[in-house]
Amino acid sequence: MPDRFSDNLKLSKLLPILDSFTDAVFIDDKDGFCIWCNKSCEELYNISIDDVQGKHVDVLERTGIFSPSVTKRVLDEHREITIIHENRHGKKLLTTGMPIFDDDGRIMKIITTSRDITQLTVSNDTLDITPTPLINVNDISELDIDLSETEIIAESLAMQNVMSLTKKLATVNSTVLITGESGVGKGLIARLLHEEGNRSEGPFITVNCGAIPENLIESELFGYMPGAFTGSRAEGKRGLFEAAQHGTIFLDEISELPLNMQVNLLRVIQEREITPVGGVESIPIDVRIVSATNKSLRELVKRGEFREDLFYRLNVVPINVPPLRDRPEDLLPLIHSNLIKCNEKLHEDKTISPEAMALLFKYPWPGNIRELQNIIERLTITSNGRMITEDNLPLFLKQEAKTNANVNVNLSLTEAMEKAEKSILEKALADYGSTRAMAKALQVSQPTIVRKLHKYELTSVE
């Protein structure tokens, strides 16, 4: 193992964990040279580590081992990339490349994971027994912590309202649209809708509409008949809607659905039947449709980028998941919960210093819960000793926390929380003026607002 690989990330301790993953994992350095892969990678791609170690991504792509190269796209675009593709042995793969940045925002390493999703298209039996055959690619963290096992934290009134509405809607079969910023946990709400309802014994199928190539999405959703098009399987294939029979299909990133496919989805919702590509006979379906988006579908409708009739069909009952910055009561239990999970997974026993915790409270978390999970995981891996201190925090986080909140890092955790609460109230008071309007905007009761204003010696119109 090259020294440059283990210097910053202490991966000598991490490699046995990565080697135990069922997903293929391979790691490239900042220049695009492959420096390690796990046993699952060797099996999935039918290679040995000697075939790839020390070789550049251009060479590996040219020889067809990793083609197309996700690492090349990550290096070019400086962001996480996910694609669905086939390897040279005909296996259909879901591959995600994740850049790891240093404190100055430069890529240090790229960790890429591949999962075999051939089972989606091989046989009907496999589809029946696989509860989540197409995972939500937005739920893959830097070291593949499965968010489906992460409980929903709902200490704040805003999230308690979301949970209450979700459990109420779980008992009916209405079409639900889940909205919210990227990373807030829309997929977890969709799963809760399924698990708390009368379809919980049926399959829960997740489809990321932005991750499937446009020329494949119709056949993926509705399947195809034998010989439907060039390159199709002789026996045909059953689609994801049929795979979700008597269960729930979760259409994530629904705003990315092409306009021509929106017409087909509208027909499915209205007539409750699908027609495979190349077929003439319709197949009745009994499927609950839940969709999610981090964009404003109303704005897309105005711009002619989303069908208005489909929007109203999807938006029968909306659930809006608030961003993390609007639910400060949930921040401490989220940090605590994720630290416990990272400690268990990585066999660590890390804690967070009060000074570091105060900065975590001041940071606005633009990436929401997903960003928090990745930051806590990174800190668990990279920090020396048992205590995660302010010095271990990424530079951008410290700068953003101090700039946005003008925080004094010598405050205690309680003082930091109170200072943040007062700042929120001051802004809400300036924006809304009355306690009733403030209570509605902050999703708390009016008596709570009155009590908080009195506590911080703030005044309002009423």
- pLDDT bin (cut points 50, 70, 90) of residue 67 is confident
To the nearest 10 degrees (0 to 180), the angle between helices 331-346 and 11-19 is 80
Give per-residue pLDDT as tens, 98-110. 888 877 778 888 8
Whether a cis peptide bond, with omega within 30° of 0, leads into 68 is: yes
As a whole number of Å, the CA-based R_g of the chain is 24
Distance CA 462, CA 454 (A): 12
Per-residue pLDDT at 231: 62
Give per-residue pLDDT as tens, 408-452. 444 445 555 666 677 778 777 877 778 888 887 777 778 788 888
* HEC readout, 75-139: HHHCCCEEEEEECCCCCEEEEEEEEEECCCCCEEEEEEEEEECCHHHHCHHHHHHCCCCCCCHHH
Per-residue pLDDT at 143: 31
Residue with tokens 């995981």: 377
Answer for the pair 162, 321: CB distance below 8 angstroms, yes or no.
yes
pLDDT at 407 > cutoff 90? no
Provide CATH code, domain 3-116: 3.30.450.20
Answer for the pair 210, 350: CB distance below 8 angstroms, yes or no.
no
pLDDT at 6 > cutoff 60? no
Give the domain 325-455 fold: Helicase, Ruva Protein; domain 3 (1.10.8)
pLDDT at 126 > cutoff 60? no
Answer for the pair 397, 168: CB distance below 8 angstroms, yes or no.
no
- Tokens for 208? 């990321």
Do strands 288-293 and 176-179 pair parallel, antiparallel, or not at all (unpaired)? parallel
Per-residue pLDDT at 132: 28
Per-residue pLDDT at 193: 93
User: How many CA atoms within 13 Å lie on the side-chain side of 129?
Assistant: 5
pLDDT at 128 > cutoff 70? no
Give per-residue pLDDT as tens, 316-325. 889 999 999 8
Range 48-72 average pLDDT: 88
The domains of the chain are located at: 3-116, 125-320, 325-455
Range 354-358 average pLDDT: 82
Sign of CA dihedral 381, 383, 389, 393: negative
Range 128-135 average pLDDT: 27
pLDDT at 241 > cutoff 80? yes
Residue type, 37: C
For the chain, the average pLDDT equals: 80
Per-residue pLDDT at 301: 93
Ranges of H-type helices in 214-307: 217-222, 240-243, 259-271, 297-302
First to last CA, the chain: 67
Distance CA 131, CA 243 (A): 10
Sign of CA dihedral 266, 267, 268, 272: positive
Cβ atoms < 10 Å from Cβ of 273: 13
Do strands 24-29 and 107-116 pair parallel, antiparallel, or not at all (unpaired)? antiparallel
Distance CA 28, CA 45 (A): 16
Helix and strand numbers (H, E) in the chain are 22, 14
Phi (first) and psi of residue 327, to 5 degrees = -135, 60
Is the pLDDT higher at 121 or at 314? 314
Per-residue pLDDT at 247: 93
Per-residue pLDDT at 224: 82
- Tokens for 322? 């608030």
pLDDT at 156 > cutoff 70? yes
Q: Where are the beta strands (DSSP E) in 137-271?
A: 176-179, 204-208, 248-252
Alpha carbon of residue 274 to chain centroid = 28
pLDDT at 352 > cutoff 80? yes
DSSP structure class, residue 275: -
Provide CATH code, domain 125-320: 3.40.50.300
pLDDT at 304 > cutoff 50? yes
Distance CA 67, CA 79 (A): 19
- pLDDT bin (cut points 50, 70, 90) of residue 228 is low
Give per-residue pLDDT as tens, 261-276. 999 999 999 999 988 8
DSSP structure class, residue 323: P
